Amino acid sequence: MDNASDKIQDTVFTTYYHSPVGLLKISGTEHFISEVSFFDKTQKPASKTKNMPQLVIQCIEQLIQYFQGERRVFELPIHQPGSEFQQEVWSELMTIPFGKTISYLELARRIGDLKATRAVANANGKNNVAIIVPCHRVIGSNRELVGYGGGLWRKKWLLEHEAKVAHGVQTLF
């Protein structure tokens, strides 16, 4: 049986952060981050920050550190609904080091099924926690930028940002 305090703890809060790659929508509870997505609407919805959980504030702080080149690994609990296969793919994405890329084929190999390239690409595209679950680090087997829900220009920006911070490289693509 639910009580009022359980419902308050499970309340999802949403706020927005103006990042170098555009407006980010950030959602979470007191216990986990559930969404970091690109918000391309011309007018952002109003959001109250007075009662924002500390975890959502920490998420914004860690994103700021990431964009300033001061953070390579996020330390936030994440929860997003998905199938067992999607969860496996998203978990594997978290193992791709900052400043590195892998192909969709390599991602399929890492989860144990070379024939699952399209399926891992689809699961990658269903990731709702952009940047933190680094789906942008997956590229085509030919080293080309392919498929990114936030737009290829953002994928390119994120990869070049990470390469510059990690290796001093100015451009990748």
* Residues assigned a catalytic role: 135
Whole-number Å distance between alpha carbons of 67 and 123: 25
> Is residue 104 classed as helix, strand or coil in its secondary structure?
helix
Convert 6-20 to b/e letters by CB count within 10 Å (16 or more is b): eeeeeeebbbbbebe
Tell me which residue of 95, 80, 79 sits closest to 137, measured CA to CA: 95
